[in-house]
Each structure stands twice: as C-alpha cells, then as structure tokens.
Amino acid sequence: MNDSEALRIAKSSFEASTTYVDSNYRKQWEDGLRMFQGRHPRESKYNSDAYKYRSRLFRPKTRSVVRRHEAIASAAFFSNVEVVSVSATDESNPMQMASAEVNKELLQYRLTKTIPWFMVVMGAMQDACTVGVVCSYQSWKYRAKKGPKQVQIVGQDESGMPIAQEVQSVEVIEDRPDVQLMPVENLRIDPAANWIDPIRSSPYAIRMVPMYVQDVRLMMEEADEKTGQPKWKKYSDGEIRSSTRQNTDETRQAREQRREDSTDQGALNEYEIVWAHENFIRWKGEEFVYWTLGTELLLTSPKPLKEVYFHGERPIVMGCVIVETHKPYPNGPATLGKDLQAEANEIVNQRLDNVKLVLNKRWLVKRGQNVDIESLQRNVAGGVTLVNDTERDVQEVNWPDVTASAFQEQDRVNLDYDELVGNFSQSSVQTNRSMNETVGGMNLISGSANVMVEYDLRVFTETWMEPVLRQLVLLEQHYETDTVVLALAGQRAELFQRFGVDQITDDLLMQELTLTVNVGAGATDPNQRLGRFVGALQTYANIASAGLPDVNLEEVGKEIFGLAGYKDGKRFLNHEIDPRAVQMAQQQVMQEVGPQLEAAQSAMQEADKYKQAAESERVAHQSTKMQVIDLKAQLDVERITSGMQDEKTNLALERIELNAEKQIQAIEQQAQKQIDAIRQQVMDEQEKAKADAEKEKESESEGESKKESAPSMPPINVVIGGQSKKVSIKAPSGDVYEGSIDATD
C-alpha cells in the first residue's frame, strides 16, 4: 500500500462511515445522552414554544437505572481484591504456570497503582448504558527525556586497555500501560461489520484523536523507539488548519449540553485542538496502521500492524450491556426504555397541569369591558379585582380535580419500565402491596431485578472487560521493562519457592495464557454470593469425602461451581491432590500405628492411676498434720480449764504433756518435721521439772520407740482417775499404757 492509496482509503472510509452513523445512530445516541442528563429528547413537544409555560418535568428514571448499574458493577467487580484470574493454557507446563503467576501479579499491580481502573470501569458502564456501546483504546504510554552524554567502559582492546564510549543518558518520565475510554462518535467502523466482534471483523477502524498543536509538532520531531510509533511528517500551520475543518458533531454537542464545543478552533496556537486519525486498514489480507491529519494530510506511511503494535492486534475494544443480533451498535437501557420514559413524563406533566388549574383557575373575560385582567392573573389571596358587571363581564372556568386513575396509570408505567430495564426501586415496592408485605415477596421482586442486571454484567464482562484485560496482559508481555515492577511481581508470585525460577525473562512472560473475570450469578448481592460459594464448597467436600472410585472430581468441581455462578472452581480447588488418595493414606497410617497408639493410651491411663494414688496419699498426710495441730490445741484448753490449782497436779499434767509431745514428735518427723518448734518449747519446760521426771523418762524410752514406728497417730486420750490419780494413754495399735502420779492428793 503506497501513500496515495492509504490517504484515499482513509478518506473514503471515514466519509462513508460518518454518513451511515449520521443517518442511523446519531439521534439514538443523542437521545440516550439527553435522557441520562434529565432532559427531554430533542424532538420532544416539551421543547417547543407551545409548552413554554406548561409543566415540563422530566422524571429521572433513566439516570436511576444507569446509576443502579454503576453501583452493582462497583459491588461486583471491586468487592473482591482478586477479580481477575490468569491461568496457563497447558497446566502441565511449569513454564506456563510460572508465566501465569507473574502476569497476574503484573496486571494486579498495574490495575491498582498506575491505571485508574475504578474510574475506567464506571465510565465504561455509563457509556454502555447511555449510548449502548463502550469503546476503549489500550496502549503503552512512554515518555523519556534525553540527558547529558556519559562515558562508559564497554570493553577492552587487544592490549588490555579499556574501551570508552559516549552513551546518551535517558530519563524515563512515563512508562506504563494505559486504557482510554473513547466517545462513540470518535470511532468509525464499517456498517456491515459482524455484530459479535465489530472491531476485528470490520475492514477498517478509524480512531479520531483530538490533539494539541504542540503535541502534533512534537510527534513531527521524533519517533517513539519503545512503542514503535514512527516519526510524523512535517506540515506548516496553514496546512494543519486546512486539514482539520469539520462540521460540528451533534453527539458531542448533546454530551456537553449545548455548550460551546471544546474542540472548536480559534487562532492556531500551541494549545489549539486539531483532529488526528489513526487508521487501521486491512489491505489484501494484511493489517496496516498509519496516521492522517483529518482526511487531507498523511502523517505517517502505512506500516504493518505488527511493527507498531507488537502484539499484532487492533488496540480497540467495543463492548455493550444488551445483546442485539446483527447490529454493530446495539441499544442501551436508556434508549430501550425511551418510550416508557416519555409516557411517564406525559402522565406526571398532565397531572401537574391539572392540579395547577384547580388551584389557579382560568377566567373568561368579556371583550372590551373594563376588567382588571392583571389582578386576575396575579390571583393574590385577599386581593380585589375591579369589574363593572360581576355576572356578565367575568366568568370562572372550573376544572375537576385529578382522579385516582392518573396515579394508578403512573404506577403501571413505573412497573413496566422497571421490569424492562431490571430496575428495583422503592416505588415498585410501594405500589405492589400484595408483594411488599412479606420478606419473601420483597426477595422475589429484588431477585427478578437482580437476575436482569446480572445478565447485563455478564454481557459487559464478555464483550468489554475481558478483552481489555487480555490486551493489557499482551502489553505487559511485550512492553514491560521496569526492573523494579518485574522484581516485585516475581516476589509476590513466589517464583523461586514454587517453580525454582529466579529471573524473569522474555520467554517466561511470552507464554500463552487464559484470562477470566470472576463475576457470575449472585454477584450483585454479597450475602447471596457467600451463600452460593459455601454451599458449593460443602457439596464438593461431601462428594469428595464419599470416596467414590469412578467419579472425576475435577469435572464434578467444575459443574458444582458452574451451577453456583462461577466459570469453574480451579482457583478454589487443588486437583493435584486427590482427596480420596489422602483419605486412603490416612486409613493406612491408622492401621499401622493403631496398636502402638492403643498401648500408649493404656500406659497413659496407668500413669493417671498412680498419679491419683499419690495425690490421695498426700491428702492423707496433710490430714494427719491437721490432727496433730488439733491435739495440741486440745491440750492447751485442758490446761487452761484446770485452773492450775495444785502444783502437784500441774507436775502430773506436765508429765502427761511431755509424753504427748514425744508422740507428736514422732508424727512430725514423718510429716517432714514441720512442727519442730513445738518440741523445742516442750524441752524448755522440761528443764524446769524435777529430777525424778528425767528418771521416769529413761524408763519409758523403750515403749516410746515402738510407738514411733506407727504411720499415723490418732488423737491422744488422757484419763485421770479419781483418788488414785492414774493416767492411761491408748496407742494406735490398741495397747493401753498406764502410769501413776507420784504425789498425794
């Protein structure tokens, strides 16, 4: 294709497609934009002078529908961080698996850091709902500034001397992928393009780009080495002005609400807007791309598409939310409900006119009579109107009040509109009392509306979002050179830990991949999405735990999650590990270690028994200690109550106490000698006793040694006889030891 043929084809294609758009789609787009802005269509009677002083209210049902679609898209696409899944075409290939993980992290980084993805998606949904289609252009933006030259050592000569070379330093200003939404009036395709894929099926696609004059002149100075965009041909200011003359675009005027066109030309200065066309032409089976200034000047010679866009695809995507077969430009929800929107406006405006006439009546005034007409028009409460004849000069015109049928008709129109476009509004709930009085009725109303919107989301995802994201992945594969971003993506993807890859190369990035957007049925309601996911996961777990030998769990998982609204369950399930094999391995392990485990459990039970016996012995020992303390307290009470009247009696009591303390001493030794202080006190009192107490002590030492061997000592019973003053002590063995007091009464 030579330059003259390229310019001729670009001009003829642009003029033919523009004529077709003006004749068939321009009015449709303009009406959709006007209704979204809350204005009546251009040809509506409410824009005529006859309705200048009538009610001209526009009910914003169209904008309500568009905003609802935007809100649901926001909840569906941005409630989950990982909306996009990138998988390998051949999952048995480790290189493709690693490439999928890296490209997924690169795409996730670009969508969250460098591309205003939320605004792009919301704007795309708005365009698709108002004019019926959304168009976008995906490219790689690269800007760099040359710096001073630097001397670098590039090698050594034969003698070993270093070889120096001057290298031009470059400062990178911008290096990132970009997604630009295009107004539908700035794209031209062939009218006979296939409705399924109009961009690629059309023999040409012309992208109209408004550019500042300074940017055009900059493109005429240098080429873009990274993206492959060639250097533009130079033209004078006069040639630039003459080539960009075009008529005012009606669709752009409607979008800007009849304000002054932002692209109109004044004096040609640095910030003036000119129109450049990027032409994608299929010529003799090969794709070419070149730029023209309007349709008059050729800016670049035709080049194969693969040389300018390295991935080899036209970087334009057109999507929609409503499928209309065999139409490259389908309608949107705004134009789909256009007639019902007009009928709703008609009903409310007529009703308002009627109410105004009831409250402010019209008057019949006899011509030529002296009547204060201005006073009648003002209709001020408490005012006075001067007339000559009140019965014949002025006559009141009465209007009946609005009936209930006007409101009922409005309710029916609202229901028809909401059912058509899938809108669930409060007015629909209030008018349908038979349904809104129960929770089930409310869920039924909202469910039918959500199904309609979910269908629109699926069409939007399939026709626009997934193709755009696939082109972004291709841009990352062919243009990404930022080492920091690549290292970060490799770190997040855990390439070395999972695949043993420590370096990201071109071969790793350029693998064939599959991209899907994780939006399915139930995406509009978070609770419903969670319920479907949990139900699908539990169902799969029950089937997997059943251990059926002839069941293909991978296909079962796809079917279950497909019924739950997902494309498949690959990102939730690890099919490399068979649950049935894991269950069989667990059973085998239990059979091998079962006897050992039972023996260990028996040993644990025996150890618990010994532990309980030791605890019982410790408790008994503690009880004995408490008995000793109670015995000492009892002896103290006995001594106090006796009054110590007789010194001899006191001596006898001391002897008895001494013997008791000796027995207590033996018990305290077995109780870890905790009451040694009591024995010391008894020994101090013994020194004050008479010498014969020591002889008695020696004579009784043999009997006391036998008593020390007793493991425990019950309370000591001391009995003092009447006249004979005898003392008896009962030992734990049952023996009774008797003695007498060496004293007279």
Task: Tell me the per-residue pLDDT of 89-117, one tens digit each, with 9 for 90 and over.
Answer: 777 788 888 888 888 888 888 988 899 99
**Domain match, 36 and 174 both:** yes
How far is Cα 325 from Cα 30, in angstroms, rounded to an integer?
Answer: 22
* Residue after which a domain boundary falls, among 497, 515, 533: 515
How far is Cα 196 from Cα 190, in angstroms, rounded to an integer?
Answer: 14
**Domain match, 143 and 277 both:** yes
How far is Cα 425 from Cα 440, in angstroms, rounded to an integer?
Answer: 17
Quick count: other Cβ atoms within 10 Å of Cβ 480?
Answer: 22
Identify the weakest region by mean pLDDT among 157-166, 310-319, 369-378, 476-485. 157-166
| Res 190: pLDDT | 94
- Is the pLDDT assigned to residue 444 strictly greater than 60? no
Contact present, 326 and 42 (Cβ < 8 Å): no
**Domain match, 487 and 536 both:** no
| Res 743: pLDDT | 43
Structure tokens, 53: 């002083």
List the beta bridge partners of residue 210.
275
**Domain residues for 679?**
614-713
- Is the pLDDT assigned to residue 693 strictly greater than 70? no
**Domain match, 259 and 372 both:** no
Identify the weakest region by mean pLDDT among 627-631, 709-713, 730-734. 709-713
Residue 39 lies in a domain: yes
Residue 88 lies in a domain: yes
Residue 447 lies in a domain: no
Residue 228 lies in a domain: yes
Residue 564 lies in a domain: yes
pLDDT digits (tens, 9 = 90+) for 178-207: 999 999 999 999 999 999 999 999 999 999
Contact present, 511 and 96 (Cβ < 8 Å): yes
How far is Cα 257 from Cα 61, in angstroms, rounded to an integer?
Answer: 19
| Res 367: pLDDT | 87
Phi, psi of 270 (to 5 degrees): -65, -30
- Is the pLDDT assigned to residue 345 strictly greater than 90? yes
**Domain match, 550 and 693 both:** no
Q: List the one residue out of 182, 87, 66, 175 whose CA is nearest residue 129.
A: 66
| Cβ-count burial 335-357 (b if 16+ within 10 Å, e if not) | bbbbebbbbbbebbbebeebeee
User: What is the pLDDT averaged over residues 447-468?
Assistant: 84
| Res 327: pLDDT | 92
- Is the pLDDT assigned to residue 493 strictly greater than 70? yes
Contact present, 522 and 532 (Cβ < 8 Å): yes
All residues at 6 or more sequence positions from 429 whose CB lies less than 8 Å from its CB, including other chains: 435, 436, 442, 445
Identify the weakest region by mean pLDDT among 25-34, 358-367, 416-425. 416-425
Quick count: other Cβ atoms within 10 Å of Cβ 103?
Answer: 26
Residue 494 lies in a domain: yes
- Is the pLDDT assigned to residue 442 strictly greater than 50? no
**Domain match, 497 and 556 both:** no
**Domain match, 476 and 618 both:** no
**Domain match, 87 and 36 both:** yes
Structure tokens, 380: 């001020």
**Domain match, 205 and 94 both:** yes
pLDDT-above-70 percentage for the chain? 70
Cα dist from 455 to 241, 281, 355, 452, 729, whole Å: 47, 34, 41, 5, 103
pLDDT, averaged across the chain = 78
| Res 272: pLDDT | 84
Which of 140 and 590 is assigned the larger pLDDT? 140
Which of 706 and 222 is assigned the larger pLDDT? 222
How far is Cα 712 from Cα 669, in angstroms, rounded to an integer?
Answer: 11
Residue 669 lies in a domain: yes
User: What is the pLDDT averaged over residues 734-739?
Assistant: 60
**Domain match, 82 and 207 both:** yes
Which of 669 and 501 is assigned the larger pLDDT? 501
Residue 446 lies in a domain: no
Quick count: other Cβ atoms within 10 Å of Cβ 493?
Answer: 22
Number of domains in the chain: 4
List the beta bridge partners of residue 211.
274
Size of the chain in residues: 745
Which of 229 and 5 is assigned the larger pLDDT? 5
pLDDT digits (tens, 9 = 90+) for 251-293: 777 777 656 655 555 555 778 888 999 999 999 889 999 999 9
Which of 419 and 169 is assigned the larger pLDDT? 419
| Res 147: pLDDT | 72
**Domain match, 266 and 219 both:** yes
**Domain match, 386 and 459 both:** no
Q: Taking the complete model, does pTM exceed 0.75, yes or no? A: no
User: Residues 496, 499, 504, 509: is their CA dihedral positive or negative?
Assistant: negative
Which of 400 and 13 is assigned the larger pLDDT? 13
- Is the pLDDT assigned to residue 335 strictly greater than 60? yes
All residues at 6 or more sequence positions from 632 whose CB lies less than 8 Å from its CB, including other chains: 664, 678
Which of 3 and 715 is assigned the larger pLDDT? 3
